[in-house]
Structure 1
Amino acid sequence: MTSRPLPHSSELPPASLEGWYVLHQSIELDWAGLKGADPAETRAALRSFAALAERWSGGSEPGWSGVYRVTGGGIDFLILHFRDTFDRLVEAVRELKLSAWGDHALVREEYLSVVELGLYSLTRELSGRIDPGDREAWDAALTDALAEERGKGYVRRRLEPRQPEHMPYVCYYPMDKRRNPGQNWYRLSLEERAELMAAHGRLGRRFAGRISQVISGSMGLDDWEWAVTLWAGDPLEFKAIISEMRYDAASADYAEFGPFLVGKRMPETEYETLLSSEATP
């Protein structure tokens, strides 16, 4: 018996490739505790912070972490962790908690996701050649197509992202696709979703060289469906791209956005001067 073919509708989700795991940590610093502690203890905590950040910045193991000073939202720092496995992400969190710095770093929010490359165009093209209802043929063709995509150098770089050195600023926010009556992304046909995302992508590419973007999926991992991480050389670029994209149909009709955090990555020279009035802003 052959299975019934799936219609070209919401029943066919886009294929995707997954890369590094991601954890966004929103940190509030215990300023009073640091300033009131013994100066030697405070210096030790700041040195442990610097050493941890330097080790996290990238080495022989896949992945890295960045520490960003944040303004607004009652948050002092955003720590952004990328790791190749979930277990190594757990270990990074444990390292923070066990450090002397961890006693003063109060984690207010954490968001778990995994770097995701959604392949709407590939899924649409493949469904035009292979019947998705023939599960054996569809799964085999999809496996081959995904393996070919993953082997491309630029795809690997997107799945294992690095922050461009000339883009020290970060903007992070979670988002969903709407599921309202008459405005439900997940009831659109594959063709409609693919067309909307293609237009969305064309708009985003206009900011190439000005914005570097990471999309990470969080369905089944956290409360929202995706996390968006942007890097730029000027924080006004975040306002420019997000304002323009709000008028794009994929966002205007179907996107819901969570809270935004904006910060600047801390160079290693700043860690031990956090409590100094002469610290660089």
Structure 2
Amino acid sequence: MSTPTMPRNTRTDLPAAEIPPASLEGWYVLHQSLSVDWPALKAADPAYARGAVASFVTLAERWATDAEPGWSGVYRVAGGGVDFLVLHFRDSLDRLIEAGHELQLSPWGDYVLVREEYLSVVELGLYALTRDLVGRVDPMDRAAWDDALGEALAAEREKGFVRRRLQPRQSEHMPYVCYYPMDKRRNPGQNWYALTLEDRAALMAAHGTVGRRFAGRIAQVISGSMGLDDWEWAVTLWAADPLEFKAIISEMRYDAASAEYAEFGPFLVGKRLSAGDFEALLPSPTAR
């Protein structure tokens, strides 16, 4: 991906205290929540039903191994009124649109209803970098600010750990997923966007400290959706133990950034399907 000289969500005609954080964007993300018409699948001709499920297996295997740059994962969901969550990562919106429609165009699509789709882009919010830059460069000097910010963003993007965060991969030893959308509150007297840059940076630094205590136990992907979907961010967590989701979210609820300013959407939790798991979905040849 090309390196932007200016983050698209940063304005330089605002007082320094009101400047949004600079950000880096990575892969586009689509979360698809699917329900299966199980009665119709059971009532279908066994050979056709097996072929439909096999088409789903083929898609999932290709997405996992031949979708570069990017990948897709299929998860069996517990509760939430849906059967599967499909998580797509691609390097462009065009390729993401294609991936999102492949399922509906396959034979398996005859038995699947897409309950919800959520669009976002992997985002690395740079509160500390923006705050530090404001201390050295006047944002009102547009030329100087553009140059300094462009150089800072280019340097960040060259870091290996930054590239890995912008193009995330799910570890094999973390098969469980937790996904939810979220907003920052904009209530009178409780408006995140009315806080100074210094206050927002401090709150996010404390929030990040809590998250780092779960390093190695949870992998987190934050994807921004302002202007792309109904909420402001999507949060995707992976873990080896699903109880880790309860632990980190419970602890973060007491953090000021969440306790005072966060609104959460519905949660989906599930486990990524392996090749063997897909085989269990295939109806028995003798079943009717």
TM range (shorter): over 0.9
Q: Partner residue of 2:136?
A: 129
Per the normalisation by structure 2, the TM-score is 0.92
The aligned residue for residue 87 of structure 1 is 94
1:173 aligns to what? 180
TM-score (norm 1): 0.95
* Aligned residue number for residue 248 of structure 1: 255
Tell me the residue number matched to 1:228: 235
Aligned partners of 1:6 and 1:31: how far apart in 2?
55
List per-residue Cα deviations over 1:1-29 (Å, max 9, x = no partner).
Answer: xxx9743322x000000000000000001
Once residues 243 and 260 of structure 1 are traced to their aligned partners in structure 2, the CA distance between those partners, rounded to angstroms, is 14
State the shift of 1:275 in Å: 5.0
1:137-175 CA-to-partner distances (Å, cap 9, x unmatched) read: 101111111011001110000000000110000000000
Q: Is the 8 A contact 1:174 1:259 kept in 2?
A: yes
- Could you tell me how far apart the structure 2 residues matched to 1:6 and 1:26 are? 39
For the residues of structure 1 that align with 2:283 and 2:108, how far apart are their CA atoms?
Answer: 17
Contact 1:26–1:75 (CA under 8 A) maintained in structure 2: yes
Residue 109 in 1 paired to residue 125 in 2?
no
Which residue number in structure 1 is paired with residue 126 of structure 2? 119
Render the CA deviation track for 1:74-96: whole Å, top value 9, x for unaligned. 11000000000000001112211
- Tell me, yes or no, if structure 1 residue 36 matches structure 2 residue 43: yes
Following superposition, the deviation at residue 273 of structure 1 comes to: 2.0
CA shift, 1:101, in A, is: 0.8
Distance 1:250 1:151 in 2: 29
Segments of 5+ residues of structure 1 without an aligned counterpart are: none
Structure 1 residues 5 and 214: alpha-carbon distance in aligned structure 2, compared to 1, 3 A threshold: closer
Who is 1:211 aligned against? Answer: 218
What's the offset of the Cα at 1:210?
Answer: 0.4
Structure 1 stretch displaced more, 149-158 or 266-275: 266-275
Q: Secondary structure at the match of 1:73?
A: coil
Whether the 8 Å CA contact 2:16–2:139 is kept in 1: the answer is: no
The residue aligned with 1:259 is 266
1:7 has 2:15 as partner:
yes
**What is the root-mean-square deviation in Å for CA atoms of aligned residues?**
1.3
- How many residues are matched? 273
> What is residue 206 of structure 2 aligned with on the other side?
199
State the Cα deviation string for residues 26-59 of structure 1 (Å, max 9, x = none): 0001101110000000110111111100000033
Of 103, 112, 115, which aligns to 1:96? 103
* Structure 1 partner of 2:29: 22
Q: Secondary structure at the match of 1:111?
A: strand
1:63 to 65, 70, 78: 70
Q: Secondary structure of the equivalent of 1:9?
A: helix
Task: Using the TM superposition, give the Cα deviation of residue 180 of structure 1 relative to its aligned residue in structure 2, in angstroms.
Answer: 0.4
Contact 2:30–2:88 (CA<8 Å) still a contact in 1? Answer: yes
The percentage of aligned residue pairs carrying the same residue is 76
Q: Structure 2 residue aligned with 1:270, among 272, 277, 282?
A: 277
The DSSP-based 3-state class of the residue aligned with 1:269 is helix
More moved, 262-271 vs 245-254: 262-271
Within 2, Cα distance between the matches of 1:219 and 1:147? Answer: 23
Q: Give 5+ residue unaligned stretches, structure 2.
A: 1-11
Contact 2:225 2:234 in 1 (8 A): yes
Report the Cα distance in structure 2 between the residues aligned to 1:5 and 1:167, rounded to whole angstroms.
44
The answer on whether the counterparts of 1:5 and 1:134 sit within 8 Å (CA) in structure 2 is no
Q: Evaluate the alpha carbon distance shift between residue 6 and residue 134 of structure 1 in structure 2; reply closer, same or farther with a 3 A threshold.
A: same
